Amino acid sequence: MSVDLATLEICDAREAVEAVREANARNAPLALVGGGTKRRLGRHAPQERELSTRALAGVTLYEPEELVLSARAGTPLREIEELLDAHDQQLAFEPMDYATLYGDTAKGATIGGAIAVNASGPRRIKAGAARDHLLGFHCVTGRGEIVKSGGRVMKNVTGYDLSKLVCGSYGTLALLTEVTLKALPKAETEQTLMVLGLDEAQSVAALRRASGTPNEVSSFAMLPAGAPPLGLAGHTALLRIEGPEISVVTRRDALAASLVTNGERFETLPEAQSRALWRAVRDAAPVACRPGPIWRLSVAPTDGFEAVEALRRAGAPILAHFYDWAGGLVWLGLDDAPDAHAAAVRAAVNALGGHAALIRASEDIRRRVDVFHPQPAPLAALTRRVKESFDPAHVLERGRMREDF
């Protein structure tokens, strides 16, 4: 185990156990770091030391014919995607790369980090989230115990589905050391049908109408007028269609015909442009280039536009925004404020039964403002019990998600 002033770099699970047990003995909390692209994600809660998985890397199993891959947690996501691409396969949940959002030039995201935050992109509405593709994992809990859960196939089980707990826990429950994932075949081609000539409300509504058709649209987003990367003069509904070329063309034309009401016009982005566009949507590029705090709102698809309108009525200074997941995911870039406009944002989503997370803000704001949406008392109590069953001394990412643990 190599050691410097602030970082413990582990090479295997045994070293992770030693590090976590030492942290417990010293009551010295640990930050868990892979590529470092998510250091600014979550509450600003500096730990005494970082536990790095950079040396805990490498694909340990890949069976293309079985659509299954296992990799150590520190394996760069880029390497996994390149390996899968060479076999015309992919991670269908399209894990977001937060480097774009935080202005990092190095694209160093790791597979362990992607699973830890449940990083899921535009295809989630059809393919599911990262947790839905996690077949199994090995981890070291905050007790310093090695745990193995799941396997290499999807199956019904009795008891606890631990993958649903660790995936999205931001490292607060356990350090992932190895993950096993389901891969899926990559589509032969794709196109994006652009619906133009509508106002904002109509454009978001077009996403929902498209989701109700039998044309197997895989992604639904809407860029307001002027939003990058397209920068078009009007609002644009974006509908991705994937599959064999003849099927894509047939479904695209049927989809356009089903959406005609009055005044729309349609254009098509071919494969290369379509792939580039959805990478930009995946990484929140339409709002990333703006200064100031960035929020991520999750509401019912029918309520996305209403959430934005509620913020406008409240006088919130929206600098940039766009919609994903057929309107159910709203990315917002707001002007600076001491509380990042948390009161207005939370009031808007609370009225709609949704939740909001502050994804980008200064360290000072992330120290003072709840980054994740406050939980109802019963759910907060359950969350605490789960945390303490995995990490009773709170040595893993102390304060990363909640100020009190």
pLDDT in tens, the chain (405 residues): 444 447 899 999 999 999 999 999 999 999 999 999 999 999 999 998 999 999 999 999 999 999 999 999 999 999 999 999 999 999 999 999 999 999 887 668 999 999 999 999 999 999 999 999 999 999 999 999 999 998 765 444 444 578 889 999 999 999 999 999 999 999 999 999 999 999 999 999 999 999 999 999 999 999 999 999 999 999 999 999 999 999 999 999 999 999 998 889 999 999 999 999 999 999 999 999 999 999 999 999 999 999 999 999 999 999 999 999 999 999 999 999 999 999 999 999 999 999 999 999 999 999 999 999 999 999 999 999 999 999 999 999 999 999 888
> Cα angle vertex 280, ends 202, 241, to 5°?
60
| Residue 399 within a domain | no
Structural domain contains residue 179: yes
What pLDDT score was predicted for residue 153?
A: 53
The pLDDT score that the predictor gives to residue 108 is 87
Find the farthest-apart pair of alpha carbons in the chain and give their distance in angstroms, rounded.
68
Does 337 fall in a domain?
yes
218: CATH: 3.30.70.2190
Q: How many domains does the chain have?
A: 3
Same domain, 162 and 34: yes
* Same domain for 151 and 6: yes
Do 163 and 207 have their domain in common?
no
- Provide the CATH number for the domain around residue 361: 3.30.70
Distance CA 403, CA 43 (A): 8
Dist. CA 133–CA 65, nearest whole Å? 17
Q: Which two tokens stand for residue 379?
A: 């759910």
Q: Which residues of 65-84 are buried (b: 16+ CB within 10 A; e: fewer)?
A: eeebbbbbbbbbbeebbebb
Q: Tell me which residue range forms the domain holding 339.
A: 285-368
How far are the Cα atoms of 13, 30, 152, 268, 376 from residue 21, in angstroms, in the given order?
12, 11, 29, 56, 33
Query: What is residue 262's predicted lDDT score, i.e. its pLDDT?
Result: 80
Find the helix or strand (DSSP H, E) in which 112 lies. Answer: helix 111-116
pTM summary value:
0.94
User: Are residues 223 and 144 located together in one domain of the fold?
Assistant: no
Same domain, 272 and 296: no
- Non-local (6+) Cβ contacts of 359 within 8 A are 41, 101, 284, 294, 295, 296
For tokens 């009551």, the residue is 27
Q: Are residues 181 and 198 in the same domain?
A: no
Shared domain check, 159 and 12: yes
Helix (H, G, I), strand (E, B), or coil: what is residue 239? strand
392 part of a folded domain: no
Whether residue 354 lies inside any domain: the answer is yes
CATH code, 163: 3.30.465.10
Q: Within this chain, do residues 223 and 292 fall inside the same structural domain, yes or no? A: no
Termini Cα distance of the chain: 28
| Residue 269 shares a structural domain with residue 325 | no
Please check whether residues 56 and 153 belong to one and the same domain: yes
Residue 260 resides in a domain = yes
Residue 310 neighbours by CB under 8 Å, 6+ apart: 347, 348, 351, 352
35 falls within a domain: yes
Give residues with Cβ within 8 angstroms of 102, minimum separation 6.
37, 40, 360
Residues 89 and 238 both lie in one domain: no
DSSP state of 297: E
Handedness of CA 61, 67, 72, 76 (dihedral sign): positive
Last residue of a domain, one of 168, 186, 204: 186
Of 186, 217, 243, the residue at which a domain comes to its end is: 186
* Single residue among 126, 153, 186 that ends a domain in this structure: 186
Q: Which residues contact 381 (CB under 8 A, 6 or more apart)?
A: none
With vertex at residue 358, the alpha carbon angle to CA 124 and CA 90, rounded to the nearest 5 degrees, is 25
50 and 169, same domain (yes or no): yes
343: in domain: yes
- Alpha-helical (H) ranges within 230-358 are 245-259, 271-282, 285-288, 304-313, 342-350
The pLDDT of residue 63 is 97
Indicate the pairing of strand 30-33 with strand 49-52: parallel
Virtual CA dihedral for 23, 396, 132, 177, nearest 10 degrees?
-20
**Residues 4, 145: Cα–Cα separation, whole Å:** 24
DSSP state of 376: P
